[in-house]
Amino acid sequence: MSREFSALRRVVVKIGSNLLSDRSGVNVERIRQVVGDLVTLHDRGLQVTLVTSGAIGLGAKELGRTSAVKQTALRQACAAIGQPVLMSHYRAAFTEHGKICAQVLITRGELNERRTFVNLKNSVSSLFELGVIPIFNENDVVSTAEIGTAVGDNDRLSAFVASKIDADLLILLTDIDGLYTGDPKRDPHAKLLTDITKVDDQVLAYAGSAGSMFSTGGMKTKLLAAKIAANGGCATVITSGYEANALVRICDGEPLGTYVHPHKRMHQRA
Ligand code: GLU
């Protein structure tokens, strides 16, 4: 079954911490590339949204930490420090193209509660109407997985956002070019799965197989995210963020990465 992207209207892109950071802090070049692609899509009339990680890692780097930050309170502090640093890089990159971006910090609560969700949806619609690119992250300062108020990983957060804002396509950028049947570095027979109609136990088992967990969130959370998106009527592509112009090429229909089909949309969009 082929990918049918000719009628794309709303696209959500998620980028993880490992793609965004290098030894000095932020990988500015990567931000520039992703933003360049988002701008191309935006100029074509698509409504694009970014979900970005990296706040905690950047905050830790600001504090001069060299090892992983595990303590919850310190992670929250790092998120508070790192989030404006992260946004300053996106703002600089979008400004180069004459575009405006906006920060949207959310938690599981806002997505789940009807009142706040409707409010959020209205804000995002206004941003789209204004031609602004919303950039989401979890509000890690007030919400943590430990107290059960956070989604906890941006793979699933991006899928919730995609289904709640009725996106057509979710693109998860990672450090491997999709889901393999085994570890491509060790198993010469490992095959890239390019087309998945249903995220079932068999598919999830591939993600659990040794060596396929190269990315930060792991392939499993990406598949769980794709499942959430599919249930919301949104297609997902999991692909490598190292691939040049991956976002534009995917939207042009190039069969990059692993494609997860949406389930039939249950409602008609406004
Ligand atoms: N919200 C976290 C951050 O910005 C990232 C969560 C994730 O990597 O999935 O640092």
pLDDT tens digits in sequence order for the chain, 270 residues long: 578 888 999 999 999 998 998 877 899 999 999 999 999 999 999 999 999 999 999 999 999 998 889 999 999 999 999 999 999 999 999 999 999 999 999 999 888 898 898 999 999 999 999 999 999 999 999 988 877 888 889 999 999 999 999 999 999 999 899 999 988 888 889 999 999 999 999 999 998 754 444 334 589 999 999 999 999 999 999 999 999 999 999 999 999 999 999 997 655 454
Å from CA of 102 to ligand 1 middle: 18
Candidates 56, 158, 216: which one to mutate for ligand 1, based on the most atoms within 8 Å of Cβ? Answer: 56
Distance CA 196, CA 262 (A): 10
- Residue ID of nearest Cα to ligand 1 atom 2: 53
Q: pTM of the entire structure?
A: 0.94
Strand-pair category, 133-138 with 47-52: parallel
Q: Residue 6 has what pLDDT?
A: 87
Residues 6+ apart with CB under 8 A from 119: 110
Task: Kindly list the protein residues whose Cβ atom lies closer than 6 A to any atom of ligand 1.
Answer: 16-17, 53-57, 79, 137-138, 140, 153-154, 216-217
Å from CA of 50 to ligand 1 middle: 13
Å from CA of 122 to ligand 1 middle: 24
Ramachandran angles phi, psi of 104, nearest 5°: -125, 110
Distance CA 143, CA 135 (A): 18
Q: What is the DSSP letter of 263?
A: P
- Residue ID of nearest Cα to ligand 1 atom 8: 53
Candidates 53, 62, 143, 224: which one to mutate for ligand 1, based on the most atoms within 8 Å of Cβ? Answer: 53
Going 121 to 225 to 21 to 193, the CA torsion angle's sign is negative
Å from CA of 244 to ligand 1 middle: 24
Distance CA 131, CA 82 (A): 26
Å from CA of 79 to ligand 1 middle: 9
For residue 3, give the amino acid letter.
R
Taking the CA of residue 154 as reference, the ligand 1 atom at the shortest distance is 9
Å from CA of 188 to ligand 1 middle: 33
Distance CA 50, CA 161 (A): 10
Å from CA of 253 to ligand 1 middle: 29
Taking the CA of residue 153 as reference, the ligand 1 atom at the shortest distance is 9
Distance CA 183, CA 189 (A): 9
**What residue has token string 């691939």?**
243
Segment (H or E) for 83: helix 72-96
